[in-house]
A and B are shown apart, each in its own frame.
Chain A
Amino acid sequence: MSRLSKDSNKYFFDSIYIEEDALNYPITKNIIEKYNASNFIVIKHYKDVFNRLNQNFSVQKQNQSLILAVKNKPFIYRGPDVCQNFGYSNFYYTSFLLNCIFDCEYCYLQGMYPSSNIVAFVNIEDFKSEIKHTVSKETAFLAASYDTDLIAFHSIIPYMDYFYDFFKDLPNLLVEVRTKSANDIFYKTHKPIDNIIIAFTLSPHEIIKKYEKHTPSLDVRIKAVKAAISRGFKVRICLDPIFIGDDVDSFYEPFYNYLFSQINPDDILDIGYGFFRMSKDFFKRIEKIRFDSLLFCENYSLKDDVLSYPDNLQEKIMEKHYKILTKYVDRNKIFSL
């Protein structure tokens, strides 16, 4: 089912749930005006809808609803060990949005949330206060687009517009915005600032086709990377998740060579590199939902409650990949877990 409405280029939500407390926020008012053909349902608390029993993640994904809510504390969280901190010990993440408009087969959100509807928090000033408070004590690295894709959501709620000036005034804060989106409007309408990194997740096109449903193609993503670079933004390339297997191993060498034939390696800040990995609990839940996924039938190795490929296999593949990548990028510019 197409999520774009027929009469415009707008992403379409058939149902929009709005918390009573969220009704008077500017973001809510904008959404009500923009999506006036949707059904609006007033709710007491977003969890009354988001945490219901027996929701079907994949059916909801095809018919995503939007839930506008007011978030309570905490507004930022310590970064988890399964994520790269790029050398920053004060690593935090924040979630203005829960869930994503893309439908990647490997995505951990399927195991993390009971619903695939999108929750958008409207009380952005509260997020700003807590971020400001945290940064006042220490320099920090903040992943702002975890559990979602802010750039992909930009045409629905432009969080990046709302936070741009705020981030600009906090030099103690380094913000990473991770995306698979081809939407380049943010780069075209804003000047680059030193403490924002746009982190593009890129994969071989065979992997995109196989696992990353509804996401832009590799070439379109590369075009967005180029747009961000040409406007002077700091760009990080995330080669994450990397998959291992006889059926996929051969995709990576041509992909790396193609990538750096398109993008000047000197123009990128660094590279994040990571293998497919997932918490055991999330994996178990997804296994039940994605019963037709080969990815979730495979046997993985368990270490500290995280499932991934066995260490020796990871080392072997990593060495092979690094040999290619270091032809283009200095080894100390490649970060892995």
Chain B
Amino acid sequence: MVFIVTALMLEAAPLIEHYKLKKDMNINNYPVYKNDDITLIVSGIGKIKSAMAAVYILSTFKCKKEDILINIGFCGATSFKYNLGEPIIINKVKDMDTGRDYYPDVYCGKNIKKGTLYCSSKPMFKEDYIDNNDTFIDMESSGIMEASQKFLYAHNTVILKIISDFLNPEDLDKEILKSYIKRNLTSIDEIIDELKNLNHSLRNPFEDEEKAVNILCEKLNFTEAMKKMLFKEVRKSKLKGLEPLSILNEFCNIEVKIKKEGKRVFEQIIERLK
């Protein structure tokens, strides 16, 4: 699953249209839009709201570590060497209140510039920013990082920022801002594809076997330790080129009434798997 968090509806709208997302009417806490593959949540502005929304969506949809979370939103740039509407993938987030740094592993967006992002808890204007660093500023990224690091692999959180201003975030034209997102939809598609490919190799090749072992262990009242041992033997058997699923199936209809009987069946299964 790909999870997208945006702060504003205006950031979300082009994505909802592009990915043909439908509003999830079962969820009232946040605006959530979905298709089979992508779930988007609009968090509101600020790092606390972004952290809450990220935790909400990752928990509600029972994310796995192999899932992807992309924070797509606007940022200000401190240097005029960048162009408005230009995308930046963030490799370091610095929370301006706590001084804490976050580092997503960036393995996507080869052709997109990478940079450090400062996360502020209030809108930042040119006159407020006294450092002379060439950097970017937003208001959500540290919340996203704080939340996602508990749930996902470090390479599966992407902070994608699009430059909306040069620290003059007032009176920005909404249509122009939307066009910045639209202009970057192809890059967003590519980022999603790259990460999906990367995660493909992480898929558990024993998913079916794991399910079968769980069902069998429940049916035959095997203990957790027995389940662990059985799964190890099943894995080994599959890696040796055998077909453990069909062996497990043979034992599916056996009834076990007493513990001793269960132990005997367990030993039989292990023997068959070897």
A positions within 8 Å CB-CB of B: 14-15, 17, 39, 41-44, 48-49, 52-56, 58-60, 63, 65, 291-294, 297-298
Interface pair B65/A294, CB less than 8 Å apart? no
Interface pair B236/A297, CB less than 8 Å apart? yes
Q: Which residues of the other chain, B, contact A56 by a CB distance below 8 angstroms?
A: 65, 153-155, 202
Interface pair A53/B201, CB less than 8 Å apart? no
22 contacts between A and B (CB under 8 A): A15-B91, A17-B103, A43-B92, A48-B101, A52-B103, A52-B149, A53-B150, A54-B65, A54-B154, A55-B105, A56-B153, A59-B107, A59-B153, A59-B201, A59-B202, A60-B105, A63-B155, A291-B205, A292-B205, A294-B239, A294-B240, A297-B239
Is residue B204 contacting chain A, with contact meaning CB distance below 8 A? yes
> Across chains A and B, which 8 residue pairs bring their CB atoms closest together, nearest first?
A297-B236, A294-B239, A56-B153, A39-B114, A63-B107, A55-B154, A53-B149, A41-B92
Among the listed B150, B152, B201, B236, which residue makes an inter-chain contact with A294, where contact means beta carbons less than 8 Å apart? B236
Q: Which residues of the other chain, A, contact B247 by a CB distance below 8 angstroms?
A: none
1/0 contact trace for B210-234 toward A, CB 8 Å? 0000000000000000000000100
Among the listed A17, A42, A49, A292, which residue makes an inter-chain contact with B239, where contact means beta carbons less than 8 Å apart? A292
User: How many angstroms between the C-alpha atoms of A65 and B154 in the bound complex?
Assistant: 13
Q: Which residues of the other chain, B, contact A63 by a CB distance below 8 angstroms?
A: 105, 107, 155
Q: Is the interface of B mostly helix, strand, loop or mixed?
A: loop
Size range of the interface on B? 20 to 34
1/0 contact trace for B53-85 toward A, CB 8 Å? 000000000000100000000000000000000
Is residue B116 contacting chain A, with contact meaning CB distance below 8 A? yes
1/0 contact trace for B132-168 toward A, CB 8 Å? 0000000000000000011111110000000000000
Q: In chain B between 71 and 124, which residues have their CB closer than 8 angstroms to a CB of chain A?
A: 91-92, 101, 103, 105-107, 114, 116
Q: Which residues of the other chain, A, contact B251 by a CB distance below 8 angstroms?
A: none
Q: Which residues of the other chain, B, contact A297 by a CB distance below 8 angstroms?
A: 232, 235-236, 239
Is residue B206 contacting chain A, with contact meaning CB distance below 8 A? yes
Q: Which residues of the other chain, B, contact A43 by a CB distance below 8 angstroms?
A: 92, 101, 103
Among the listed A49, A293, A298, which residue makes an inter-chain contact with B103, where contact means beta carbons less than 8 Å apart? A49
Q: Which residues of the other chain, A, contact B236 by a CB distance below 8 angstroms?
A: 294, 297-298
User: How many angstroms between the C-alpha atoms of A55 and B153 in the bound complex?
Assistant: 6
In this complex, the member of B92, B206, B236 whose beta carbon has the largest number of chain A beta carbons within 10 angstroms is B92
Among the listed B91, B101, B198, which residue makes an inter-chain contact with A59, where contact means beta carbons less than 8 Å apart? B198
User: How many angstroms between the C-alpha atoms of A271 and B148 in the bound complex?
Assistant: 49
Interface pair A54/B103, CB less than 8 Å apart? no
User: How many angstroms between the C-alpha atoms of A55 and B104 in the bound complex?
Assistant: 10
Q: Which residues of the other chain, A, contact B239 by a CB distance below 8 angstroms?
A: 292-294, 297
Q: Which residues of the other chain, A, contact B204 by a CB distance below 8 angstroms?
A: 291
Interface pair A52/B154, CB less than 8 Å apart? yes
Among the listed B103, B154, B201, which residue makes an inter-chain contact with A58, where contact means beta carbons less than 8 Å apart? B201
Q: Across the two chains, which residue of chain A brings its CB closest to B198? A: A59
Q: Across the two chains, which residue of chain A brings its CB closest to B229? A: A299
Q: Across the two chains, which residue of chain B brings its CB closest to A247? A: B240
Q: Which residues of the other chain, B, contact A65 by a CB distance below 8 angstroms?
A: 105
Distance from A57 Cβ to chain B, minimum over Cβ atoms (Å): 10
Distance from A279 Cβ to chain B, minimum over Cβ atoms (Å): 19
In this complex, the member of A48, A52, A54, A294 whose beta carbon has the largest number of chain B beta carbons within 10 angstroms is A54
Q: Which residues of the other chain, B, contact A294 by a CB distance below 8 angstroms?
A: 236, 239-240
Given that A294-B240, A298-B236 are contacting pairs, would A39 and B91 also be in contact in the complex, using a CB cutoff of 8 Å?
yes
1/0 contact trace for B194-207 toward A, CB 8 Å? 00001001101110
User: How many angstroms between the C-alpha atoms of A59 and B202 in the bound complex?
Assistant: 8
Q: Which residues of the other chain, A, contact B198 by a CB distance below 8 angstroms?
A: 59
Interface pair A41/B91, CB less than 8 Å apart? yes
Distance from B152 Cβ to chain A, minimum over Cβ atoms (Å): 7
Q: Which residues of the other chain, A, contact B150 by a CB distance below 8 angstroms?
A: 53-54
Q: Across the two chains, which residue of chain B brings its CB closest to A292? A: B205
Q: Which residues of the other chain, A, contact B114 by a CB distance below 8 angstroms?
A: 15, 39
User: How many angstroms between the C-alpha atoms of A52 and B114 in the bound complex?
Assistant: 20
User: How many angstroms between the C-alpha atoms of A54 and B64 in the bound complex?
Assistant: 12
Q: Which residues of the other chain, A, contact B103 by a CB distance below 8 angstroms?
A: 17, 41, 43, 48-49, 52
Q: Across the two chains, which residue of chain A brings its CB closest to B106? A: A15
User: How many angstroms between the C-alpha atoms of A44 and B202 in the bound complex?
Assistant: 31
Given that A59-B198, A63-B107, A297-B239 are contacting pairs, would A44 and B101 also be in contact in the complex, using a CB cutoff of 8 Å?
yes
User: How many angstroms between the C-alpha atoms of A261 and B274 in the bound complex?
Assistant: 39
Distance from A304 Cβ to chain B, minimum over Cβ atoms (Å): 23
Distance from A288 Cβ to chain B, minimum over Cβ atoms (Å): 11
Distance from A214 Cβ to chain B, minimum over Cβ atoms (Å): 16
Q: Which residues of the other chain, B, contact A49 by a CB distance below 8 angstroms?
A: 103
Distance from A140 Cβ to chain B, minimum over Cβ atoms (Å): 38
User: How many angstroms between the C-alpha atoms of A49 and B202 in the bound complex?
Assistant: 22
Interface pair B206/A291, CB less than 8 Å apart? yes
Q: Which residues of the other chain, A, contact B202 by a CB distance below 8 angstroms?
A: 56, 58-59
Distance from A309 Cβ to chain B, minimum over Cβ atoms (Å): 16
User: How many angstroms between the C-alpha atoms of A43 and B92 in the bound complex?
Assistant: 9
User: How many angstroms between the C-alpha atoms of A53 and B147 in the bound complex?
Assistant: 12
Distance from B198 Cβ to chain A, minimum over Cβ atoms (Å): 6
Distance from B207 Cβ to chain A, minimum over Cβ atoms (Å): 11
Q: Which residues of the other chain, B, contact A291 by a CB distance below 8 angstroms?
A: 204-206, 235
